[in-house]
């Protein structure tokens, strides 16, 4: 048996697991219409099926964060592997609405388990450059969305059904499961593993503040992306091409995050991201046509550092929260995204109806509704400009806290 612990192999396996996580989002989105036709489901039912993945995620991160100290990352990743595999197979052989709900929850639970295990594992293995390595790990969320989207497009051209699209995720699931099963995991040495200390540390004002900020960063990133198609469908640009551009740029940005994090530090990165995101979403709400492609690139740079840098901030500035802190912050972000999904949808419906009542045609009404809704979403990063601006003004105090807790 190989007695050496390979941090590189563990990191690579983590990246494949996160790729599967992202593919589930992209491929599920790509088969919704087919599921509706095959099972006779309306949009409300399809919405509930999607919501189960968002709810399964925070359930896993909460329990995973609490149990990380007792079970370690390997057992959590075994749970992720089994939940992914069972959830995918259940989806393929689903016989109706209830089965799809359960399978979607299992897949969401698997996705959350991957985050609950891999974020603290990577932070522990790379204690000298946590935020940089977490950004490199999270390259594979936008990267996985690109892969999943391309898989859907390829299989569509081959006229293959949604079952094959779901089955395409089984192979990478088996690969990451095998890689983790055969790997030896290091003991936790660079993160706090006393659960009582973790719990007490999550009750501090700074942690509560960061968790609240995470709800806004997540909705700014994921909430906008989830609704790109209806928001931009009548704008003169291709929403799917914009989504591909956004996720591609995000992947590249996260991979080369190291120099930016080193130059600005995590607080500076978050403040800069909030400013750029606010400007980008505002511009999305006022420009049309080909200009949207350039604004989409700006949006991608604005949001690409949010999620991993927030996790990195917790691991560096609030290390006593341990795996629990990282998991709770991630769970808060995904939970908020799920909660705001129907709200954003209601904004679109309401704004469309208001535009129709004013005498606009259907296409112009949808265009006006998309712009108005993006205008509403602009307030999320605008609030973050204020919040992260406060952190930035107090960055010297934060650095003292950081070095004191190191």
Average pLDDT of each block of 10 consecutive residues along the chain (406 residues)?
Answer: 71 95 84 83 75 86 90 94 96 92 94 94 88 90 87 85 93 96 86 90 94 95 76 71 83 88 89 97 89 90 93 91 92 87 82 89 87 93 97 88 71
Residues 352 and 369 placed together within one structural domain of the fold: yes
Burial of residue 189 (number of CB atoms within 10 Å: 0-12, 13-18, 19+): exposed
Residues 136 and 227 placed together within one structural domain of the fold: no
Residues 113 and 219 placed together within one structural domain of the fold: no
Residue 72: domain span:
1-191
Distance CA 81, CA 146 (A): 22
Which pLDDT belongs to residue 130? 86
CB 382 within 8 A of CB 281: no
Q: What is the CATH number for 354?
A: 1.20.1250.20
Residues 119 and 263 placed together within one structural domain of the fold: no
CB 395 within 8 A of CB 265: yes
Q: Which of 191, 215, 245 is the last residue of a domain?
A: 191
Chain centroid to Cα 350, Å, comes to: 27
Q: Which of 152, 168, 191 is the last residue of a domain?
A: 191
Which pLDDT belongs to residue 270? 96
Residue 203 half-sphere exposure toward CB, CA atoms < 13 A: 6
Nearest to 329 by CA among 247, 246, 206: 206
Q: Which of 191, 209, 236 is the last residue of a domain?
A: 191
Residues 213 and 288 placed together within one structural domain of the fold: yes
Residue 405 half-sphere exposure toward CB, CA atoms < 13 A: 21
Distance CA 117, CA 162 (A): 30
Which pLDDT belongs to residue 174? 97
Residues 379 and 286 placed together within one structural domain of the fold: yes
Residues 126 and 224 placed together within one structural domain of the fold: no
Report how many domains make up the chain: 2
Residues 155 and 268 placed together within one structural domain of the fold: no
Residues 200 and 187 placed together within one structural domain of the fold: no
Which pLDDT belongs to residue 240? 65
Residues 228 and 284 placed together within one structural domain of the fold: yes
Which pLDDT belongs to residue 76? 95
The token pair at 266 is 């995590």
Which pLDDT belongs to residue 214? 96
Q: Going along 297-362, which residue ranges are E strands? A: none
Residues 344 and 385 placed together within one structural domain of the fold: yes
Burial of residue 113 (number of CB atoms within 10 Å: 0-12, 13-18, 19+): buried
Which pTM was predicted? 0.83
CB 400 within 8 A of CB 315: no
Nearest to 111 by CA among 319, 327, 322: 327
Which pLDDT belongs to residue 2? 43
Residues 173 and 254 placed together within one structural domain of the fold: no
């Amino acid at each position: 048996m190989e007695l050496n612990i390979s941090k590189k192999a563990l990191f690579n396996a983590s990246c494949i697991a996160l790729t599967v996580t992202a593919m589930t989002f992209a491929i599920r989105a790509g088969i919704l219409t087919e599921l509706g036709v095959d099972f006779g489901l309306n949009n409300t039912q399809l919405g509930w099926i999607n919501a189960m993945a968002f709810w399964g995620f925070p359930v896993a991160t909460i329990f995973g964060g609490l149990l990380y100290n007792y079970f370690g990352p390997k057992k959590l990743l075994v749970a992720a592997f089994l939940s992914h595999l069972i959830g995918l197979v259940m989806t393929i052989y689903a016989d109706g609405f209830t089965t799809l709900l359960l399978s979607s929850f299992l897949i969401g639970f698997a996705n959350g388990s991957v985050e609950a295990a891999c974020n603290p594992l990577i932070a522990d293995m790379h204690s000298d450059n946590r935020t940089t390595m977490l950004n490199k790990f999270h390259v594979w969320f936008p990267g996985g969305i690109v892969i999943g989207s391309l898989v859907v497009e390829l299989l569509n051209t081959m006229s293959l059904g949604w079952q094959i699209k779901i089955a395409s995720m089984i192979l990478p699931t088996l690969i990451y499961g095998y890689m983790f099963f055969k790997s030896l995991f290091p003991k936790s040495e660079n993160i706090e593993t006393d659960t009582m200390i973790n719990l007490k540390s999550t009750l501090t004002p700074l942690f509560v503040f960061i968790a609240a900020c995470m709800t806004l960063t997540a909705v700014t990133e994921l909430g906008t992306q989830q609704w790109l198609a209806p928001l931009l469908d009548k704008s003169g640009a291709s929403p799917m091409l914009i989504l591909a551009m956004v996720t591609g740029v995000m992947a590249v940005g996260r991979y080369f995050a190291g120099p930016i994090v080193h130059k600005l530090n995590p607080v500076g990165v978050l403040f800069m991201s909030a400013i750029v995101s606010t400007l980008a979403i505002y511009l999305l709400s006022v420009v049309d046509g080909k200009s949207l492609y350039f604004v989409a690139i700006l949006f991608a740079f604005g949001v690409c550092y949010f999620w991993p840098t927030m996790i990195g901030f917790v691991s560096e500035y609030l290390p006593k929260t341990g795996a629990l802190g990282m998991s709770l912050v991630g769970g808060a972000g995904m939970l908020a995204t799920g909660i705001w999904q129907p709200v954003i949808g209601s904004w679109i419906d309401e704004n469309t109806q208001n535009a129709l009542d004013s005498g606009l045609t259907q296409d112009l009404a949808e265009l006006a509704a998309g712009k108005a809704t993006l205008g509403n979403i602009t307030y999320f990063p605008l609030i973050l400009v204020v919040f992260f601006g406060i952190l930035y003004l107090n960055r010297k105090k934060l650095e003292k806290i950081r070095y004191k807790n190191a």
